[in-house]
Structure 1
Amino acid sequence: MRLLVRERLFAVGDDYWIEDTDGRKLFLVDGKAMRVRDTFELKDPDGLVLAEFRQKLLSLRDTMIIQRNGEKLAEVRRKRLSLLRNHYRVTLVDGTELDVSGKILDREFAVDYDGELLAQISRRWLTVRDTYGIDIVREDADASLLIAVAVCVIVLADKEHDKALGDG
């Protein structure tokens, strides 16, 4: 499943659609403004909330929590002891771990489980300016979880980059 995401998607307080390659609106990312921490909801076209993700307060490393139906589903954080700055770990509540690595700020990265590719995030196969794609490789993969992971990783990487530049 290939999805198209507009670059400005991650502005808190704005709402943006994620479309398929035919332009059909499949997911809405609803940024919640006026909150103490970054908060987003991923909704289907009918407005049903599929996942909520927000920055965790009071953690040593920047962390985002993904919830579904009010229950914690996963935590996303930069991987400790990694030589690569662009390496994140997603820990699901059942203990399963997903790895996210690549050039996050360039929107060129992958999500994998135990060495198996689940999703590829890339600008390479698109010609539309300020847009990148999420290619969910496995048909049985949880698309809303993988989209939430991509959003969280980008938000965390952008915040870390802004702090390094002195903007945040």
Structure 2
Amino acid sequence: MYVIRERFFAIGDDFDVLDEHGTKVLHVDGKVFSPRGRLVIEDPASGDEVASVHRHLVALRPTYEIRIGGEKAAEVRKKLFTPFREKFTIDVPGPDDLEMKGNLLDHEYVIEQDGREVAQVSKRWLTIRDTYAVEVASGVEPLLIIASALALDLALDRTGDD
């Protein structure tokens, strides 16, 4: 399980992602005042960039690109037609796309791949205000899931500003 502080994008500060033992596993540099709503995920020991998330400026719907190790790993985008609830797709190279569904605004959702749950995001697991937990199934790349959750947070924060 990983712990992320919620809604950090509103003020653009830096923060850490912790594992279940409270150990800092990632540092996130929120560069939200850039025109692309970019953030950089760094290795806390070396300070090296391990991943980034940025908004596509020209897109039909909210779209965020995730780069891991300098390579495009996925695009997170809102589905166009989803009556009654918002859904986002994590479009990865090849046929193994993922889908975020549930109560996205309240950080109570699951991420599925081919109908199988591969991650859960929840505020209910924690009593600390303004934080949420990300539980990732074994065999799934945690960095992709964490970056996708951050991309969703960027998209929802941006929607709230419009």
Is the TM value for this pair above 0.5? Answer: yes
Partner of residue 58, structure 1 = 58
Distance in 2 separating the partners of 1:119 and 1:31: 23
The letter for the 2-side match of 1:72 is: K
**Counterpart of 2:67?**
67
Structure 1 residues 94 and 122: CA distance shift in structure 2, 3 A? same
Query: What corresponds to 1:24 in structure 2?
Result: 23
Greater shift after overlay, 104-113 or 29-38?
A: 29-38
Structure 1 residue 6 corresponds to structure 2 residue 1: no
Partner of 1:115: 115
**Residues 100-111 of structure 1: pairs in structure 2 closer than 5 A:** 100-111=100-111
Q: How large is the Cα RMSD of the aligned pairs?
A: 1.6
Aligned amino acid, residue 141 of structure 1: V
| 1:33 shift after superposition | 4.9
Match of 1:153 in 2: 152
Counterpart amino acid of residue 96 in structure 1: D
Matched position secondary structure for 1:149: helix
Aligned length: 161
Which segments of structure 1 move beyond 6 Å, counting only runs of 4 or more?
none
Return the letter of the residue paired with 2:154: V
Q: Which runs of 5+ in 1 are unaligned?
A: 164-168
Describe the SS at the equivalent of 1:26: strand
For residue 12 of structure 1, report the CA deviation from its aligned partner.
Answer: 6.2
Structure 1 residue 132: deviation in Å?
Answer: 1.1
1:96, distance to aligned residue in structure 2 (A): 2.3
Distance in 2 separating the partners of 1:67 and 1:106: 26
Counterpart contact for 1:105–1:158, Cα < 8 Å: no
